[in-house]
Amino acid sequence: MHFEIMDYELPTNFDVVVVGTGIIESIISAAASRIGKTVLHVDSNNFYGGLSSSFNLESFLKLNIEKRKSICMEHSSLNDTETFFPINNSDFTLDEVTHQWNITNKNKNYSDEENSAQEDIIAKEICAKKWLKDDLLKESRKFNIDLTPKVQYARGDFIELLISSNIARYSEYRSITRVLTWFNNTLEVVPCSRSDIFANNKISIIEKRILMKFFTSLDDNEDLIIKDYASKTYKCFLTDKKLSKNLIHYILYAISNSTDSTLCLEGIGNTKKFLKSLGRFGKTPFLYSMFGSGDLPQEFCRLSAVFGSVFALDQPIHGLILEENSFKSILIGKQKIKAKNFVLGLNLTPDFFLNKVKKKFISRGVFITNKSIMDSDNEPLTLLLYPAENDKNPCTVLELPWLSSCCPKDTYLVHISCNQINNPEDDLKHCVKNLFTLNEDFKAFKPLIFYSSYFSIPTNSDENVNLHDFNNLFICPGPDSELDFVTAVSKAKELFLKMYPDDEFLPRAPDPEEIKWDGDEEPSDIAQ
Amino acid sequence: MIMDDYKFLFKVVLVGNAGVGKTCLVRRFTQGLFPPGQGATIGVDFMIKTVDVGSEKVKLQIWDTAGQERFRSITQSYYRSAHALILVYDISCQPTFDCLPDWLREIEEYASSKVLRVLVGNKIDREDREIPTVVGEEFAERHNMYFLETSAKESDNVERLFMQIAEDLMKQARSRDLPRYDSNTTTIDGKTSTISDFSCCSK
């Protein structure tokens, strides 16, 4: 028997074809494969994750250039009873990625005669390592730059799913070291735990007692809260609780990640979610996956493959073929591949099924800097929840040290995100200005930006999808602006159960020790 | 939870074209079986075997590609945290050897630069050899890799391959020259004991 070297032909009959490797598509792929369905999982990109992917620095810099051309399809292979729906291949719509370097390749010599010897010493102390553009490019593969960074609540639905499905074994996480907020024009540490609250010197002893009491009272009088505050804001509730201004700030903008208009019950829910996740793995409720958020969809793809799915990236995916009243096959290259169900990322959905609505985006900024936004003894992994300001939306700032395996030593990788109003640079500029400096003055207190990038992530939910009566097509929304994957998990589960209502969603995968092997071979066959 | 009786745990991953015998090598080593039963590979993520190196117990966690190599679609995360990497080709099949530079590029991109790399020419039991031993040796030398020819079918050199890896990784571990995967990370296994710092919600 001789094996084929490389299959260029895909198998042509499946239970499910999944197109796109975003988080929701990947979870559904794993879930279907796990219950024994045959799955073909393809992507038109040559990398996993789509808009949830992470890139090394060089690939990230090339993102603009590598836009995929739309593919011509061949009608010749269709017969009379078939209708063709080309899939929307504007797939990777990051068309406005900007890149700015604030460092050059020339070494700016700090021991110039103009500079005094003393200044030279300070320079060495403050900024141990002087980076040049080429130095950073040489370390390119140490970067894992997320398009859509996510943190996970330690007791959130995503982490619970990783544990219950036994997918957690594929990856390692790092606890977020501290949660910060921006208050009175300065950075403040948000007290998370009991010990944090007691150690905090910004709040008085009385406030500490009030805060503790508030936290422990959240479960009480739930009925009363529902009745009295059903249509009122969380801010109103906190104010009525007679909390001081800074306590309200901590709870509203940081702990519950809310805004002034967040409704009371949602705010309470968020607060409880935060508190519930404390103390499980670290000092804050949040975890970040080593090597970036882009590894998360891959974990589900790995499980899917382990249970037999066929994976093929970089595929010329043309479109779906409708016959009578359901989709029968998908055209990939010159192959017509049959399946009972089709799962598609929203960005690949044929235009026919999309209502014309205004597109929504997340404004994103990526920065490589020389130090943390707030000094610390160890190398902190920081989540800053920057409240709304004037006409600006609240921003989520995630600052990663090299320990996260997302950037080289002596640098920090900073992600800033917010719901788009105008354009990324404009939406984030107030936050960037307050946190960083572009001025290579080594005495500066703020971190120096070496490199910055701005882009927009399309974030349309599936509310604008109209599937009419086609019940074997399932559309997965793209990235969302949540901190974590809570919405993605519930969407994946919902779609999976629509497809297979009688099956279990991602039951626990066995550990290697638990697998029962075929009894075909005689024990005597054991070598040596 | 059973306390495992081992001092070191190493992650070993296999790559190479489809059909070169990666799964056979793993199953031969961990279970002494050839050919592996077809059905059972579904759901198998990695295989574990504990070996003795000197007086120490070393646990090898051996990962297979789960078929994702078939269309060149291995997840990057597969390479992460690997201590050793076995690149396999079939000595009776030139194209599997010709693909090695492609595999090396992928390894260099995603695996740790300190990962122990081993080149393996498998299927030496076959009569129709296309790649002379010396060609494999030269390739390995040029790319700073260990080299070994094996037969999973006849069990030639399979034990030696994995034992060599275990010994080398032990040596590296002793001289602290292993790829540094920081031990301070959180592994989520659901068994992690809860530090109860703030038990407000459960009252």
- At B76, the amino acid letter reads Q
Query: Does a cis peptide bond (omega within 30 degrees of 0) precede residue A350?
Result: no
Q: Nearest 5°: phi and psi at B146?
A: -70, 160
Supply the pLDDT for residue A138: 94
Q: Using the beta-carbon criterion (under 8 Å), do A308 and B203 form an inter-chain contact?
A: no
Question: Which among A175, A313, A512 is the nearest to B47, CB-wise?
Answer: A512
Residues of chain B neighbouring A171 (CB-CB closer than 8 A)? 77, 80
Supply the pLDDT for residue B36: 63
Q: Are strands A473-476 and A449-458 parallel, antiparallel or unpaired?
A: unpaired
Supply the pLDDT for residue B191: 46
Give the pLDDT band of residue A116 (cuts 50, 70, 90): very low
Shortest Cα distance, chain B CAs vs residue A187, angstroms: 24
In sequence order, the 6+-apart residues with CB closer than 8 A to the CB of B147 are B118, B119, B120, B121, B136, B137, B139, B140, B141
In A, minimum Cα distance to B200 occurs at A216
Supply the pLDDT for residue A325: 84
**Residue A140, pLDDT above cutoff 50:** yes
User: What average pLDDT does chain A have?
Assistant: 87
Supply the pLDDT for residue A89: 60
Write out the two tokens for A255. Answer: 């702990």
Shortest Cα distance, chain A CAs vs residue B124, angstroms: 14
Inform me whether the C-beta atom of residue B77 falls under 8 Å from chain A C-beta atoms. Answer: yes
Q: Using the beta-carbon criterion (under 8 Å), do B186 and A276 form an inter-chain contact?
A: no
Give the pLDDT band of residue B189 (cuts 50, 70, 90): low
Inform me whether the C-beta atom of residue B128 falls under 8 Å from chain A C-beta atoms. Answer: no
Q: Return the minimum-mean-pLDDT range out of A277-291, A436-450, B143-157.
A: A436-450
Residues of chain B neighbouring A272 (CB-CB closer than 8 A)? 201
Cα A169 from Cα A286, distance rounded (Å):
18
Q: Which among B25, B197, B202 is the top mutation candidate for probing chain A, defined by the most A β-carbons within 10 Å of its own β-carbon?
A: B197
Contact B90/B151 with Cβ under 8 angstroms? no
Reported ipTM: the value is 0.88
Q: Using the beta-carbon criterion (under 8 Å), do B197 and A172 form an inter-chain contact?
A: no
Averaged pLDDT for residues A490-507: 97
**Helix, strand, coil in percent for chain B, rounding step 5:** 30, 20, 50
Question: Which among B31, B181, B201 is the nearest to A272, CB-wise?
Answer: B201
Show the CA angle centred on residue A363, arms to residues A360 and A366, nearest 5°. 150
Q: Return the minimum-mean-pLDDT range out of A69-73, A151-155, A242-246, A269-273.
A: A69-73
Averaged pLDDT for residues A127-138: 83
Q: Using the beta-carbon criterion (under 8 Å), do B198 and A193 form an inter-chain contact?
A: yes
Q: Decide which of 1.10.3720.10, 3.40.50.150, 3.30.519.10, 3.40.640.10 is the CATH code for A95-146+361-458.
A: 3.30.519.10
Q: Using the beta-carbon criterion (under 8 Å), do A517 and B31 form an inter-chain contact?
A: yes
**Residue A111, pLDDT above cutoff 50:** no
Inform me whether the C-beta atom of residue B76 falls under 8 Å from chain A C-beta atoms. Answer: yes
Write out the two tokens for A110. Answer: 């700090």
Fold of the domain spanning A13-93+293-357+462-514: FAD/NAD(P)-binding domain (3.50.50)
In B, minimum Cα distance to A162 occurs at B188
Show the CA angle centred on residue B156, arms to residues B151 and B158, nearest 5°. 85
DSSP run (H or E) holding A249: helix A245-249
3-state class of A103 per DSSP?
Answer: coil
Up-side HSE of residue A193: CA atoms within 13 Å toward CB?
18
In A, minimum Cα distance to B94 occurs at A5
pLDDT single digits (tens) B157-178 = 999 999 999 999 999 888 876 6
Q: Using the beta-carbon criterion (under 8 Å), do A279 and B43 form an inter-chain contact?
A: no
Q: Which among A140, A190, A221, A520 is the top mutation candidate for probing chain B, defined by the most B β-carbons within 10 Å of its own β-carbon?
A: A520
Give the pLDDT band of residue B195 (cuts 50, 70, 90): very low
Q: Decide which of 2.60.120.650, 1.10.405.10, 1.10.10.10, 2.130.10.10 is the CATH code for A193-281.
A: 1.10.405.10
Q: Is A222 exposed, middle or buried, given 0-12, 13-18 or 19+ CB atoms closer than 10 A?
A: exposed
In A, minimum Cα distance to B96 occurs at A5
In sequence order, the 6+-apart residues with CB closer than 8 A to the CB of A311 are A41, A42, A301, A304, A305, B67, B68, B70, B71, B73
Inform me whether the C-beta atom of residue B12 falls under 8 Å from chain A C-beta atoms. Answer: no
Supply the pLDDT for residue A92: 53
Taking the domains of chain B in order of start, what are their residue ranges? 8-174
In B, minimum Cα distance to A516 occurs at B40
**Residue A414, pLDDT above cutoff 70:** yes
Query: How many other C-beta atoms are found inside a 10 Å radius of the C-beta of residue B33?
Result: 21
Give the pLDDT band of residue A469 (cuts 50, 70, 90): confident
Supply the pLDDT for residue A124: 45
**Residue A283, pLDDT above cutoff 90:** no
pLDDT single digits (tens) B10-26 = 999 999 999 999 999 99
Contact B2/A496 with Cβ under 8 angstroms? no
Q: Using the beta-carbon criterion (under 8 Å), do B40 and A171 form an inter-chain contact?
A: no
Supply the pLDDT for residue A347: 84
Supply the pLDDT for residue A383: 97
Question: Which among B42, B68, B184 is the nearest to A311, CB-wise?
Answer: B68
Cα A93 from Cα B112, distance rounded (Å):
31
Q: Using the beta-carbon criterion (under 8 Å), do A6 and B99 form an inter-chain contact?
A: yes
Q: Using the beta-carbon criterion (under 8 Å), do A287 and B188 form an inter-chain contact?
A: yes
**Residue A484, pLDDT above cutoff 80:** yes
* Residue B58 or B176, more confident: B58
**Residue A129, pLDDT above cutoff 90:** no
Residues of chain B neighbouring A173 (CB-CB closer than 8 A)? 185-188
Q: Return the minimum-mean-pLDDT range out of A134-148, A503-517, B11-25.
A: A503-517
Q: Using the beta-carbon criterion (under 8 Å), do A5 and B182 form an inter-chain contact?
A: no
**Which of A519, A476, A472 shows the shortest CA–CA distance to A500?**
A472
Shortest Cα distance, chain A CAs vs residue B92, angstroms: 10
**Which of A489, A417, A369, A487 shows the shortest CA–CA distance to A148?**
A417
Residues of chain B neighbouring A159 (CB-CB closer than 8 A)? 188
Cα B199 from Cα A280, distance rounded (Å):
11
Class of domain B8-174: alpha beta
Inform me whether the C-beta atom of residue B81 falls under 8 Å from chain A C-beta atoms. Answer: yes
Supply the pLDDT for residue A297: 97
Supply the pLDDT for residue B18: 93
Averaged pLDDT for residues A132-150: 95
Inform me whether the C-beta atom of residue B115 falls under 8 Å from chain A C-beta atoms. Answer: no
**Residue A524, pLDDT above cutoff 60:** no
Q: Using the beta-carbon criterion (under 8 Å), do B33 and A525 form an inter-chain contact?
A: yes
Supply the pLDDT for residue A466: 84
DSSP run (H or E) holding A322: strand A317-323
Supply the pLDDT for residue A96: 78
3-state class of A199 per DSSP?
Answer: helix
3-state class of B128 per DSSP?
Answer: coil
Note which residues in 30-59 of chain B have CB less than 8 A from chain A. 31-34, 37-40, 42-48
Count contacts between A and B (CB, < 8 Å).
187
pLDDT single digits (tens) A170-214 = 888 999 999 999 999 999 999 888 888 888 888 899 999 999 889
Cα A208 from Cα A202, distance rounded (Å):
10
Averaged pLDDT for residues A429-449: 86
3-state class of A394 per DSSP?
Answer: coil
Averaged pLDDT for residues A486-496: 97
Spell B173-191 as b/e; 16+ CB within 10 A means b: beeeebbebeeebbebeee
**Residue A296, pLDDT above cutoff 80:** yes
**Residue A329, pLDDT above cutoff 60:** yes
Q: Using the beta-carbon criterion (under 8 Å), do B19 and A215 form an inter-chain contact?
A: no
Helix axes B158-174, B22-31, angle to 10 degrees: 80
Averaged pLDDT for residues B105-125: 94
Contact B25/B158 with Cβ under 8 angstroms? yes
Supply the pLDDT for residue A75: 55
Taking the domains of chain A in order of start, what are their residue ranges? 13-93+293-357+462-514, 95-146+361-458, 193-281
Q: Using the beta-carbon criterion (under 8 Å), do A515 and B44 form an inter-chain contact?
A: yes
3-state class of B154 per DSSP?
Answer: coil
Question: Which among A272, A280, A517 is the nearest to B37, CB-wise?
Answer: A517
Q: Return the minimum-mean-pLDDT range out of A72-86, A274-288, A503-517.
A: A72-86
Residues of chain A neighbouring B40 (CB-CB closer than 8 A)? 515-518
Token pair 């895909």 is found at: A10
Averaged pLDDT for residues A277-290: 91
DSSP run (H or E) holding B94: helix B94-98
Supply the pLDDT for residue A319: 92
Question: Which among B40, B71, B188 is the nearest to A163, CB-wise?
Answer: B188
Averaged pLDDT for residues A95-106: 84
In A, minimum Cα distance to B21 occurs at A3
3-state class of B44 per DSSP?
Answer: coil
Cα B119 from Cα B16, distance rounded (Å):
10
Q: Return the minimum-mean-pLDDT range out of A101-110, A312-321, A474-483, B145-154.
A: A101-110
Inform me whether the C-beta atom of residue B179 falls under 8 Å from chain A C-beta atoms. Answer: no
